Amino acid sequence: GFLESPHCGHYAPSMCISAKPTLRRATKIAAAADWLLQCLSQVGAAADISSLLKAFQVYSKAMPLLHNLVVERIQDLRDNKQQEHLRASLETLKKCVSMLHTAMYTTIKHPHSEEAQSAKQYILNQVDSTISEVAGFISALACDEKSLEGVENSRGCIMRLKQAICVLMQNLEENEVHSSEALEKLKEMQQRWSEEMEQLLHACSSIINVKDFVCLA
């Protein structure tokens, strides 16, 4: 019967499975972003041309990894603004490569130049913030999609509860069940309804406003 349904009150297995690839990809992107940030730190700490070249070699390996993972995620998105936002961030990182190399080279050649030091710090901060923002944005999207699936599942369960209550009310009108038994079932359904509404409200409160996130970025 309806009240024994294993899906009511819990996320449906099929919906949980569909959320896993998105979460796994977000985890991979976060790891790639962390690696690129570590590489950026090594580039920024380079004190001579030799160490700078070595640091840039590793940075040049980490950069395409993050780029490709983000491109894959962009292809999964349906919202054009979200796609454009991530593409713009990737373009910023791409443009910053030559600027970063120039700033570091100039700083090493002119270690006492305040202008060179200022340019170096500016580009390091810009790259750092862009990498962190990309990882944070994609992580927020993953959490948002998971919450949306929770909303959809709770919505489905609530609709099934409504249908079952309508059937029970019809049976009451036709006197096909004893009143005491029907009232007991109504109490159970009312409890399930309250639980589902609580889950639905919780899922809704977990959803971020991605448009606001983009504006704040």
Q: What tens digit of pLDDT does each residue of 88-121 get?
A: 999 999 999 999 999 999 999 999 999 999 999 9
Q: Identify whether 1 is part of a domain.
A: no
Residue 27, in any domain of the structure:
yes
Domain membership of residue 170 (yes or no) is yes
Residue-number span of the structural domain to which 35 is assigned: 11-216
Instruction: Give pLDDT, residue 101.
Output: 93
Answer whether residue 56 is part of any domain. yes
Please indicate, yes or no, if residue 4 is contained in any of the structural domains.
no
Model pLDDT, residue 123: 96
Give the model confidence (pLDDT) of 39-79 as tens digits.
Answer: 999 999 999 999 999 999 999 999 999 999 999 999 888 88
Mean pLDDT on 18-28: 71
pLDDT range class, residue 188, cuts 50, 70, 90: confident
Q: What is the CATH number of the domain that holds 156?
A: 1.20.120.230
Helix axis angle, 114-173 relative to 13-45, nearest 10°?
170
Please say whether the beta carbons of 9 and 108 come within 8 A.
no
Q: What is the pLDDT of residue 185?
A: 74
Residue 84 lies in a domain: yes
Residue 14: the pLDDT is: 35
154 domain-assigned? yes
> Given the structure tokens 């580039």, which residue do they identify?
43
**Higher-confidence position of 40 and 3:** 40
User: Does the pLDDT value for residue 83 go beyond 60?
Assistant: yes
How many distinct structural domains can be found in the chain?
1
> Per the domain annotation, does 2 fall within a domain?
no
Q: Using one digit for the tens of pLDDT, what is the confidence trace for 134-165?
A: 998 888 777 655 544 555 555 566 667 667 77
Rounded to a whole number of angstroms, the CA Rg of the chain reads 27
